[in-house]
Chain A
């Protein structure tokens, strides 16, 4: 077995406000291996997004340790990409210059990096929109552009915070399929946070179920399909899909 890319060891987090303190996460532990797609599901408000903010270094855990390739998060040079709920493409930039935002901030705009972005745009059908304004793109294309903006930094670990929840159901299915396929094709390790069980089952290799707040890891379910080439859409049609769905559904409702 190879080394885990991410190790979460006994992590806890508490929110402090004037009104008091709210424990959000309690003693979370699990590991993610390179190339794996992990989904975290849990009731809304259970602290899933807090957890991603922590992985991204925006918040510091009150207790516990986060290790990336064996080194603590704050000292690690592992690149993490974060995809937010909304695409947040900037209307005052063209699609292409939106794609360069992360590179600009990290002062990594090189000819090779630009080539990489252009290749990504080409591969994922946005090249002809490179000089368009974000408002000229459909919701699905915008989300794809947001993913390319994240991939432009060549992250070792991708964090996805309910990236499809702002889309309508129809678009959500196709964009989910789209994004899931891209991530697999690029061979990225990813952690998806969602409250949509079917989204989690269709995209992930493993589903981690968080309990109600303060969240702990209630159960980890390995998702295995018998198909050879896995896409989110094909997974939804597989016979195993329903079994996994029901299993997670029951888990989530145990304490509800």
Chain B
């Protein structure tokens, strides 16, 4: 680290300009949100927008407080959140497990590859109605719907990552007298931690998608149910509120995994 006192004036100016730029960007981000919400509110109040269809920020906020006080919002959010976290955890564990099995048995992976590719390129929402019919509309089915959206991509990504491990590192293990198990435990898994974290980042979003789709077609609770129900009874304020809360949940979940990733990278790289 250079001594703070020895920093030249040019460097100071440069750093200040950088800081100013960042502050300016943040300022505009907040202004944009305020402008958008303000415009929405004003046009709704002046009757330019039909507030029955488009609602308004103040109506949404009111609805939110109402549903918080009667406890219904907490119920829906906790159901969606629980289902998402369970399906995310299962996707992560199952994904790593399947990728390891494929890596250990290359012939099996060659046999299964076309099937995995087909399943992965299938629009996952197509499976959810089938799952509801097969397994009944309960929480287990919703969680499986969440898993079905994320699992194939997770397995393929992890397996590809495992196979891209530097062959010389595997050779090193061999020259030290190690077998495949040593290669897996000493090289493949520790080298893949950054990959696993980035796959997790994708999976948390995909799990949420699967859960919401599942709730939309086969549930009596959760934010997905709330969206479908309020659209059927034309409660657009409730519907938009549910979407806003989904947004917030998605950002928080993603942010949590990002934080985990940052922490790992800071400690190990």
Contact = CB atoms under 8 A, between A and B. Distances in A.
A82 B174 CA distance: 10
B173 to A, nearest CB: 7
A177 B28 CA distance: 60
A105 B177 contact: yes
A56 B186 contact: no
B186 A101 contact: yes
Contacts of B191: 90, 92
Nearest to A106: B177
Nearest to B176: A102
Contact of A153 (B168, B176, B268): B176
B193 A92 contact: yes
A88 B177 contact: no
A1 interface: no
A156 to B, nearest CB: 14
Contacts of B182: 105
A105 B268 contact: no
Contacts of B171: 58, 84
B197 to A, nearest CB: 13
Contacts of B193: 92
B174 A58 contact: yes
A90 B193 CA distance: 13
Contacts of A81: 175
A90 B189 CA distance: 12
B173 A105 contact: yes
Contacts of A85: 168
B269 interface: yes
A106 B268 contact: no
- If over half of B's interface residues share one DSSP class (helix, strand or loop), that class is named, otherwise mixed; here it is helix
Contacts of B269: 91, 135
Interface string B162-185: 000010110111111110001000
A86 interface: yes
Contacts of A106: 176-177
B186 A104 contact: yes
B190 interface: yes
A101 B176 contact: yes
A85 B187 CA distance: 18
B175 A58 contact: yes
A179 B176 CA distance: 19
A238 B172 CA distance: 36
A72 B268 CA distance: 43
A94 to B, nearest CB: 11
A56 B175 contact: yes
A50 to B, nearest CB: 13
A88 B175 contact: no
B177 A90 contact: no
Contact of A84 (B175, B177, B178, B268): B175
Contacts of B172: 84, 88
A102 B168 CA distance: 15
Nearest to A108: B177
Nearest to A105: B178
Interface in B185-239: 186-187, 190-191, 193
A191 to B, nearest CB: 13
A59 B264 CA distance: 38
Given A58-B175, A106-B177, 20 more contacts: A56-B174, A56-B175, A81-B175, A82-B175, A82-B176, A84-B168, A84-B172, A85-B168, A88-B168, A88-B169, A88-B172, A90-B190, A91-B268, A92-B190, A92-B268, A102-B176, A105-B173, A105-B182, A133-B268, A135-B269
12 contacts: A56-B174, A56-B175, A58-B174, A85-B168, A86-B168, A88-B166, A88-B169, A92-B190, A92-B191, A93-B190, A133-B268, A135-B269
Closest 5 CB pairs of A and B: A82-B175, A102-B176, A105-B178, A92-B190, A88-B172
